[in-house]
Amino acid sequence: MSFAEGSQGTASGSLQSNNNKLGGTRKPVEPGQNAVKRLQTELMQLMTSPAPGVSAFPSADGNLLSWRATIEGPVDTPYAGLTFKLSFEFPSNYPYAPPTVLFRTPIYHPNVDFSGRICLDILKDKWTAAYNTQTVLLSLQSLLGEPNNSSPLNGEAAELWDKDPALFKTKVLDRHKDIEDD
């Protein structure tokens, strides 16, 4: 015990003012550390130079690997004037693996199923590490105006897109429903 006391006295000598900073030096190097850092810079970029019609922000629970985003429907499409909310779940090896993106607002779209899952190549096998949240959101925004009807998740919507635009628009408006933030 005498040894321990001696060590306390010596160790504390120089550290009086530094102890509140120690948390940083002792931080463990987690696997998701790089993902978090990358997401921090992305967030900074989204805040400083936002792209028109899209926005994104980490969810309220403070977990930087989970984001909430919104897309405004492009003009001259059936989605004009509507706002869609999405959720982003980033894997710990982001950006080497794509985030999981879901439409939280119900949407009637050939490439989105009824639970909000999206069929988009860049979110699957065509993902590269150079994509980021903003580019994904802009891709999704253009997907609203130009659906890929050859591989639909919603076959009816794919058919109606070409056959009956008026009915398609009605179905879009019927399906759309503003949701509350959680």
Partner 1 sequence: MPPPNTPVDGTTTPRSTQPSQPAQSSQSSQSASRPASSIIMDASQVKTAVVKMDYQAIDYVNPVDETLICPICRTAFHSPITTPCGHTFCAKCINRALERQRVCPIDRQPVDKTRDYRPIPLIIKEQLDRLEARCPNQGCDYVCARENLEAHYERHCEFTPVRCPKPGCDKLVARHLCSIEGQCMHETTNCDFCLKPVTFVDLDAHWEQECEAAFATCPDCGASVSVVNNSMLKHIQQDCPEATAKCTWEGAGCRVTDKRRLVREHERNGCMYETVGRLLEQQAEDRKIIQDLTRRLASLEAVRDTRRRGRRRDSAATINDRSAAAVAADGTLANPAASSAPLADGTTWESPHNYMLAQFERLESQMEELREMVCEMDMRQSASFLHHSQQVADRFLELGDKVGVLSMHTKWLLNMQYMQRNAQLRAANAASLTAGAAGAGNVGLSGSSDGGHHGGESSSGAGSSSSESGPRYQLGGRRGSEGRIETLTRL
Nearer to partner 1, 21 or 163 (CB): 21
Q: Do 93 and 35 meet the contact criterion of CB atoms below 8 Å apart?
A: yes
Site for partner 1 in 49-108 (CB under 8 A): 95-97
Q: Do 113 and 154 meet the contact criterion of CB atoms below 8 Å apart?
A: yes
CA angle 127, 157, 77 (to 5 degrees): 75
CB of 49 to partner 1, least distance (A): 10
- Which of 32, 38, 58, 68 lies at the binding interface for partner 1 (CB under 8 A)? 38
65 catalytic per annotation: no
- Which of 32, 45, 105, 106 lies at the binding interface for partner 1 (CB under 8 A)? 45
CB of 56 to partner 1, least distance (A): 15
Q: Which member of 119, 136, 137, 144 is catalytic?
A: 119
**CA pair distance 121, 67, nearest whole angstrom:** 21
Q: Identify which range of 5-13, 109-117, 144-152, 165-173 contacts partner 1 by CB under 8 A.
A: 5-13
Give me the 7-26 binding string for partner 1, x by CB under 8 A, dash otherwise: xxxxxxxxxx-xxxxxxxxx
- Which of 47, 60, 75, 129 lies at the binding interface for partner 1 (CB under 8 A)? 129
CA angle 167, 171, 154 (to 5 degrees): 100
CB of 100 to partner 1, least distance (A): 16
Size of the site for partner 1 (CB under 8 A): 41
132 touches partner 1 by CB under 8 A: yes
Catalog residues that contact partner 1 under the rule CB under 8 A. Answer: 3-16, 18-27, 29, 33-34, 37-38, 41-42, 45, 95-97, 126, 128-132
Active site residues: 119
